[in-house]
A = this chain, B = another copy of it.
């Protein structure tokens, strides 16, 4: 019998059970009576998590992310909020945009909201140089509350990072594509974030390992909009490619539309790999092969680490989740 069973039997959410255990004023007396009755009838003893951890805490976690309209970040934020709520934590979110000034202000502002910890979603907060002074404001924040970074790495005290090994995952996928006979592989990205740069480095390393020259003209940056990508590529008649490696599924879906419009057979004439294993990948026809960047896994690592940290346990500053290629129908290897 665990908190999920109690919630189901009482017909409330796990967050409500947690609040009842903590005697929160937010829950009505009627609901409290019902939940307590179910707990008694089932001999349920709340564990340390359901009971709550800090006494002076507001039980609030701050989340900042550049753009919640991005599907990857939106899923991460939703997962974090849902699961932190199961531990009795509220979340407040601040969307910063991508500008450096605005990112700094986001972190300073959210620190004023009496939060117990800060989660930064999205790799555009991290610099390629992990010791860069540009992220000193994040190290400053970490003097007040523990900071958890999703998919980026910043070296600093009280800063804890969960990352996908984008370099290795990209290197491995592009290497497979090369072994399957493709030599002219387009790299498509929509930003220069930490994670996009890791993916680019993996792509270039795979080319170099195979003795294929890295060509600037094959590294293309476009907005992550399907039809924009299709149209932009169609405007380059000189483009002669038999593979596409994209840092986002939306970019890959655009490349797929381009290939079809050009009359190319996918994957025979051109193989395509996306990134993030999103609903867009499943929507494509043929369905898109894509790298699962393990967003939920990273969120879970962050929440588990945070709860251990609240219990004063030692936790790692850098934990990797292994990205892996989901093989669907735009690749044949």
Contact = CB atoms under 8 A, between A and B. Distances in A.
B68 A282 contact: no
Contact of A109 (B13, B70, B90): B90
Interface in A1-30: 12-13, 15-16, 19, 26-27
Please classify how large the interface on chain A is, using the bins under 10, 10 to 19, 20 to 34, 35 or more: 35 or more
A16 B102 contact: yes
Contacts of A31: 101
Most chain-B Cβ atoms within 10 A of its Cβ — which of A70, A71, A81, A227?
A: A81
A94 interface: yes
A67 interface: yes
A93 B93 contact: yes
Q: How many of these chains are in the complex?
A: 2
Interface stretch (A72-80, A152-160, A205-213, A305-313): A72-80
Nearest to A69: B78
Given A67-B78, A77-B68, A285-B284, A91 B95 contact: yes
Interface string A113-149: 1000000000000000000000000000000000000
A67 to B, nearest CB: 6
A92 interface: yes
A13 B95 contact: no
Given A16-B101, A19-B105, A226-B279, A71 B71 contact: yes
A15 B105 contact: yes
Interface string A55-99: 000000000000111110011011101100100001111110101
Interface of A: 12-13, 15-16, 19, 26-27, 31, 67-71, 74-75, 77-79, 81-82, 85, 90-95, 97, 99, 101-102, 105, 108-109, 113, 225-227, 250, 253, 257, 260, 279-280, 282-285
Given A16-B105, A85-B102, A93-B93, 4 more contacts: A13-B99, A68-B77, A68-B93, A284-B285
